[in-house]
Amino acid sequence: MRKPLRVPLLLLALLSCLLMTPLLSQAEEATGQSATEEPVKVNASTALPALQKRLDSLKQRVSAAKADKQFTILNDDAQKLVAEADKLAVSLTPQLAQVQAQLDVLGPAPAPGTLTETPQVISQRKQLNSSKALLTMQIEQAKAVVVGAQNLSSQIAGLRRDALKTQIALNTGSILGESFWSPVFDPSDKDAARFDEFGTQVSDAWHQAWSEDWRVGSTIYLLLALGIGLFGRRAMDRPLNWVLPRWLPQGRFRRSFLACFTTLSTTLTLGICMQLLCYTFTRLPDTSQWVMEFADQLVELTYFSAVIAGLGIALLSNSHPSWRLPGIADPLAKTLSSFPILLATFIFIFGIIEQLNALVGASIAATLFGNGLAALLVALNCLIAPIRVNRIRRKMSAEGEQTEARSTVAGLIHLVISLTAFVILLALLIGYIPLARFVTFELLWIGLVVCSLYLLIHFVVDLCETVFSPATQTGKILKSTLSLNDRHLSLAATLFSALGKTSLLLMAAVALLNGTFGTTTPMELLIKIAEMWGGKGLEGMNIIPAHAVNSVLCLVIGWYVLRSTRRWLDNDFLPKTNMDRGLRASLVTLFTNVGYVLIIMLTLSMLGIEWNKLAWIVSALSVGIGFGLQEIVKNFISGLILLTERPVKVGDLVSISGVEGDIRRINVRATEIQLGDKSTVIVPNSQLISQNVRNATMGNAQGVATIALTFPLDIDPEQVRNLLLEAYKLHESILENPPPSVSFKELGPSGIVLSVTGYVNSPRMVSSTRSDLLYEILKMLRAAEISLSQTQTMVLEQPVHKLPTEE
C-alpha cells in the first residue's frame, strides 16, 4: 500500500522544481541581475557592528571636541558613515527581494489536513523565512545607523554654531568675499528646505488665524496690539504730566522718576503689543512647535530691544529737556534721538536672525551671514553717532553757543564706543566674524547694564533724599513718629542710598559677568547672586576669552566700588557718627586692605585659577619671607596690630626716637608722622610696636603749661605767688579744674625759684599757651616793679706789679 503513495510524492517534488526554475529567472530579471553577473555580496553580519562601532566612536569624539576644525572633520566622518550605511542597506535590498521571490514561488504553507509537502520544501521555506527575517533586521539596523549619523551631523552643526560664539580667533572669511553672501545669492538646498518649511508653518498659522472660526478673535487681538503699540505710551504720558507736579515734591526725584517711568512705559507697551500679536497665532490648536518657540523668542527679544529704546528716550528726554538726567545740550540730544530706536531695531534683527538660524538648524554659512550682517549694522550705528555728535559740537563752538561741560568719564565712553565700533568693522573686513559677533555682544550688553545702572542709581539716591528729607511729608512723619532729628534723617538717607547703590552695583556686576543676551531678568540676577553667595559656579572656571573679560570687569568694578565705598565711609557716613577721627581712619584703612585682598581673590577666581594649585607660590613666599621679606611681613603684621589694638591712632601726638609729631596716616607698611614744621617722617610700623613710644594724647590726656622763674632773695614770695596765679587764671586756655598752682622749687644763693603750673585741654596747646603766659607775666612783673634775678658774674683780675725805679 505504501509504494503507490511514494510515487506521486516524488512526481510532485519534481514538478515543483521544474516550476521554480522559470520563476526564479523572472525574479532575477526583476531585481536587475543578469544570469551571468552575480550581485556583489556584502557580509552584513560583520559590516553592521563595525558601522555601529564607528557611530558610537563619533559620538564620543563629538562630546570632547571644541575647535571648529575638529567639528568639520567629525561632520565629514558622519557624512561618510551615512553614505556607507545607506550603501549597505541598498545592497541588502536585492537579496531581500530575491528571498521574497523564492518564498512567493513556494507559496504559503498548506493548511493542516490538506496536501502534505515534502521535507525538502518545508526546510527550504523555513530557511528562506529565516533569511528574510535576518535581511529585514539588517536593513533596519543599517537605516538606523543612517538616521543616527544624520542626527549626529545635525548635532555637530548645532555645536559648531555654538562654538562660533567662543572661537573668536577663527577666520571665517571677509564680508566682502563671495562665500559670505552665498546664503543670499546661492543658498544651500537644506537651508532653503528648512526655511521653506518654517515659512509654510507660519503661513498655515496665518491662514488658520483668519479662518472663519478664529477670525473675530484674531481681529480683536490685532487691533489691541496695534492700539497699545502706537498709542499706549502717549496715553500713559498724559496722566503722568498731571501727576508729577501735584503729587511729587520738588527736587531731583521728579526727573529720575520721569526717566524710569519713560523706560518702563516704552518697554511695557512694545512688549505687550508683541505678546498680543504672537498670541493671535499661538492660541490656535494646530500651531506647530517651531511657530510656538519662535513666538516666545520674539517676545523676549522685543522686551530686550524695548529696554534699549526706552533707556535712550529716557536719558535724552527730548520731550522734557529741563528734566534731562545727563548734562547733554539740546542740539546734541535732538541729533541722537533716532539712534536709540535704530540700535534697538538692529538688536531686534540681530536676535531674530540668530534665534531663527538656531531654531531651523541653518548651516554655518547662514549663521555667519546673520551674525556678520547684524554686527555690521550695530557697528555702523555706534560709529556714526559719535561722528555726528562731534560735528554738532564743533558747529556749536564755531557759532559761539555753549556746549555741555564734558567730563572725563563721558569722553572715555565716547572714545570706547568709537574704538569698539572700529574694531568690529575691522574684524568683519579681515574675516573674523565670530570676533565681531563677540565684541558686538559685549558692547551691547555692557552699554545696557551701564545705562540701567546710571538711571537706577539716580532714582535710588533721589528717592532716599526725598523720603528722608525734613522738608517733605514723609520726613516729617518719620521725625514725629520715631522722634528723630535732622541729623538722624540725613544719616538714614546716606545709609539707605549707599545700600541701594551697593545692591545695584552687585546686580550690575553679576549681569555683566553672567548675563545672557536678551534673556537676563531681575529674578535670574537675584538667583545668580544667591548661588554665588553660596560658592556655586566659582569652583570649576577655566581661563577662556569670556572669563578673561569677566576678570577685567571684576577688577575694574571691584576697584571702583571699593574706592567709592571708602570715600563714602570717610566723608559721608562715619563723620555723622560719634567716633573719633582716629577710629574712623583705622576703620577705613582696615576696610580698604580687606577689600583689596577680596578683589584680588575674586579676580583670580574669575580667571579660573584654583588656590590648591598655588602651593608652589606659597612655598616660594615662605622662603622669601625667611630671607628678604621678613621686614615687610613684620611691618605688615605690625600695621594690622596698630589698626586693631590702636595703641596709637591717627591724630595722636607721639614721640619716638627723638621724633615728635602728629600721626597723619597708618599704612600697611609704615606710619606717617607730621612734625611741627609740616614735614613728614615715615616710621616703620614695627618700631611703633617694639620701641618705647610716648603718646601725649592717649586717653584724652591734658597738656601741662609749666613756667619756672628765678627771683631775687629780697622779694615777697606771697606777692609773686598771687601775681603768677592771677596771670594763669586770666588766660582763657587754662582750665579751672584742676586749678593752677605755684610751688617753691629752690632757695639758693642765686635767688628764689618758683614754678607755676596750669592745665590745658590738649598737649598741642601747651606751646602757644606758655608763650602767651610769659608775655603776660613779664608785663605784670614790670607793673609791680618786681625784677627777675640776674645772673651774678664773678670777674677775677690779676694785680699789676710795678717795677722798682732807679734813683
pLDDT of 205 > 70? The answer is: yes
| pLDDT value, residue 792 | 53
Between 11-20, 148-157, 231-240, the lowest mean confidence (pLDDT) is in: 11-20
| pLDDT value, residue 564 | 83
Is residue 688 within 8 Å of residue 647, measured between CB atoms?
A: yes
More confident residue, 219 or 3: 219
| Tens-digit pLDDT profile for residues 699-715 | 666 778 888 888 888 88
Three-class secondary structure of residue 658 per DSSP: coil
pLDDT of 308 > 80? The answer is: yes
Phi, psi (rounded to 5 degrees) for 171: -90, 115
Rounded CA-CA distance 702/99 in Å is 118
Average pLDDT estimate for 424-435? 88
* Residue 372 CA: distances (Å) to CA of 72, 163, 353, 359, 440: 21, 15, 11, 18, 10
Q: Which helix (H) or strand (E) holds 418?
A: helix 408-430
Q: Which of 95, 113, 141, 102 is nearest to 16 (CA)?
A: 102
* Residue 32 CA: distances (Å) to CA of 43, 87, 136, 651: 20, 17, 20, 107
Phi, psi (rounded to 5 degrees) for 751: 140, -170
| 1 pLDDT tier (thresholds 50, 70, 90) | very low
| pLDDT value, residue 199 | 87
Mean pLDDT of the chain: 77
Between 403-407, 434-438, 552-556, 603-607, the lowest mean confidence (pLDDT) is in: 403-407
Residue 392, classified by CB atoms within 10 Å of its CB into exposed (0-12), middle (13-18) or buried (19+), is: middle
| Tens-digit pLDDT profile for residues 652-667 | 888 887 788 888 888 7
pLDDT of 309 > 60? The answer is: yes
| pLDDT value, residue 403 | 66
pLDDT of 31 > 60? The answer is: no
Start-to-end Cα distance in the chain: 216
Rounded CA-CA distance 754/711 in Å is 8
Q: Which helix (H) or strand (E) holds 746?
A: strand 741-748
Q: Which of 630, 644, 642, 643 is nearest to 693 (CA)?
A: 642
Q: Percent of the chain at pLDDT above 70?
A: 80
| pLDDT value, residue 234 | 81
| pLDDT value, residue 370 | 83
Rounded CA-CA distance 791/807 in Å is 49
| 38 pLDDT tier (thresholds 50, 70, 90) | very low
| Tens-digit pLDDT profile for residues 365-394 | 888 888 888 888 888 888 888 888 888 888
Model pTM score? 0.56
More confident residue, 34 or 442: 442
| Tens-digit pLDDT profile for residues 467-494 | 888 888 888 888 888 887 888 888 888 8
Q: Which of 101, 94, 103 is nearest to 44 (CA)?
A: 94
| pLDDT value, residue 41 | 56
More confident residue, 545 or 783: 783
Q: Which of 326, 321, 313, 320 is nearest to 413 (CA)?
A: 326
Rounded CA-CA distance 92/96 in Å is 6
pLDDT of 678 > 80? The answer is: no
Residue 483 gets which letter from DSSP?
Answer: T
| pLDDT value, residue 30 | 41
